[in-house]
Amino acid sequence: MNLKRRLLTALLCPGLVSSAQAADLTTAEEIQQLYIAYLGRPADGPGLAYWTEQVDLGNISLEQIRVNLVNEQPEYLENYGQLTTSDLVETVYLNLFNRESDAAGRDYWVGQLDSGAFYPDQLIVAFINGAAEPDQIVVRNKVTIADCYTAEGEYTYRQVIHALGEAHGVNLLTECPLAPAVPFTLNDTGATSCVDETNSANTIDCLDAAFPQDPLIGRDATHPNDSDGKGGFSFTKLDAEGNELSASAADWACVRDNVTGLVWDARSEEEGLHYKNNRYSWYDPNPATNGGDEGLDEPGGFRQQCTGSECNTQTLMNALNAKRYCGHNLWRLPTAMEVVSLVDLSINSIDPTYFRLDDESSRVWTSQTVPSERDEAYEITVQPSIAPVGYIGDASKSNAEAVLPVSD
């Protein structure tokens, strides 16, 4: 079916899909497809169950669900509402098919939109219904991956979002391709002193405290072994291929946190991609994870300085993933709690015998956007400064801060 005919099919028969694409799609899968296309994420379990029941009972149609997603869900407006016609077409190509548009296709769709042949929110349905076979496979694979999150409950949202962005149109997935997520566990605090309950400004021997306090609870009390990190912390040094090294190794690339299971780029004293003093502006082009503002992908951010890549966080992560640094290709910015979990209060920092921290900047970026200020992201203080260590602050995404890349 040629492009024009597929488009007419999509517009005149919005519930009709091509035979290859519609092959045994259940109601739930069709709804999942709408969530992926319009919101860029998998459906939540209760929402999917509700909409599926309503469609199967005949109380609502798939077209009415589409209208609801477009008109009632702020995520749709965040993803698509402010884009130019050309950017809208390009974004739909990327979000649905994980590829850039070809010139002929882009010009055709832009022309149809500019001529008023149909509304912008109809473009997504037209793309799905009129997709060539490799693109159909990408969309079907995204539905399968999304079902991992909605149906199984064993996979993290972050895992699924990453996998959606990696879906390809070569082989049709028949089952969830993800390994179940390891539940995230926090480290203990590393605190070694207790507070005098009669005067909170004073510290006392914890054995003299009237009630159990932090140092007597958790891993700091049950696993006080300094051989692989102070107190209850437990780290393993890794080389650039991911092989384990001894704790005394003088040359290492990454650190595995044996409590949380996360692997961290330990950064380097040498200039280059891993240089500890590199500073990056915050950038995430994925509408599903950037909180409504992608940040800055160009030079010129305040205090930007780096070597080995462009000075934005996404380019850095792409470079780490491309080289499978330390055997991993899921490198990303950490969440706020993942960074805070590294802070050792006994030394008021992150352990410098495992992590090489920026000589001047005391803060590192997190992956999380500030909900009330979408052009800002959270940052964590990891070394002594005006703000206390572990403090969760925020900064403009155009600022440049140090990073501690992490991989699941």
Which of 56, 55, 57, 79 lies closest to 65 in space, CA to CA?
A: 55
Name the amino acid, one letter, at 18: S
Could you give the CA distance from residue 164 to residue 43 in angstroms, rounded to a whole number?
A: 13
Exposed e or buried b per residue across 43-55, where buried means at least 16 C-beta atoms within 10 angstroms of its C-beta = beeeebeebbebb
Q: Is 375 exposed, middle or buried (0-12, 13-18, 19+ CB in 10 A)?
A: middle
SS3 content of the chain, % helix, strand, coil (to 5): 35, 15, 45
Say which residues have a Cβ less than 8 Å from residue 352's Cβ, sequence separation at least 6. Answer: none
pLDDT value, residue 281? 92
pLDDT value, residue 302? 61
Could you give the CA distance from residue 296 to residue 300 in angstroms, rounded to a whole number?
A: 9
pLDDT value, residue 131? 83
Q: Is 192 exposed, middle or buried (0-12, 13-18, 19+ CB in 10 A)?
A: middle
Counting other chains too, the contacts that 14-17 makes at CB distance below 8 Å and 24 or more residues apart are 14/63, 14/66, 14/122, 14/125, 14/129, 15/61, 15/62, 15/63, 16/129, 17/128, 17/129
Could you give the CA distance from residue 244 to residue 284 in angstroms, rounded to a whole number?
A: 31
pLDDT value, residue 4? 35
pLDDT value, residue 180? 61
Backbone angles phi, psi at 366, to 5 degrees: -115, 175
Backbone angles phi, psi at 105, to 5 degrees: -65, -45
Could you give the CA distance from residue 262 to residue 256 in angstroms, rounded to a whole number?
A: 6
Helix (H) or strand (E) segment spanning residue 142: helix 133-147
Counting other chains too, the contacts that 354-357 makes at CB distance below 8 Å and 24 or more residues apart are 354/229, 354/235, 354/237, 354/255, 354/266, 355/255, 355/264, 355/266, 355/267, 355/404, 356/266, 356/267, 356/268, 356/269, 356/276, 357/267, 357/276, 357/382, 357/383, 357/402
pLDDT value, residue 287? 79
In the chain, which residues have pLDDT < 70? 1-24, 152-159, 179-184, 214, 299-303, 385-386
pLDDT value, residue 20? 37
344 has which bridge partners? 349
- CA distances to 1, 158, 200, 353 from 165, rounded to whole Å, are 27, 11, 50, 36
CA torsion sign for 244, 245, 251, 254 is positive
Q: Indicate the Cα dihedral angle 332, 333, 338, 340, nearest 10°.
A: 160
Other Cβ atoms less than 10 A from the Cβ of 245: the count is 16
Could you give the CA distance from residue 283 to residue 313 in angstroms, rounded to a whole number?
A: 6
